[in-house]
Structure 1
């Protein structure tokens, strides 16, 4: 993806360096953390959607003792 247009969540207050940024085109979705913008994760929409559904479904939650 050349020259991605990065978007931040509206929950990222103040534009600090603790935000997740995302950009997408027809083929891929790229994700980075604002504190380390050179480290970019590339995925496709279906895989990202499955991950988000799993997170929302609690599949990665840990039980606290």
Structure 2
């Protein structure tokens, strides 16, 4: 099955720090949108949703 990759709506076409995610039944995969051939990191469902939860609270915001 082909994964459906998507990039953040906040990413710009010329921005250097773009990532794409693909959700699947087991969790999520993350890859560099500017170097798609380099592969992807895979995360289990629990890991991925914990990351999303913490990110929404601003834990990874630039300071």
- Shorter-chain TM-score: what band? 0.5 to 0.7
- Note the C-alpha offset of 1:39: 2.9
Supply the RMSD in Å over aligned alpha carbons: 2.7
- Alpha-carbon distance in structure 1 between the residues aligned to 2:3 and 2:16: 18
Which is greater in Rg? Answer: 1
What is the count of residue pairs matched by the alignment? 60
* Unaligned stretches of 5+ residues in structure 1: none
- Alpha-carbon distance in structure 1 between the residues aligned to 2:35 and 2:16: 8
* Unaligned stretches of 5+ residues in structure 2: none
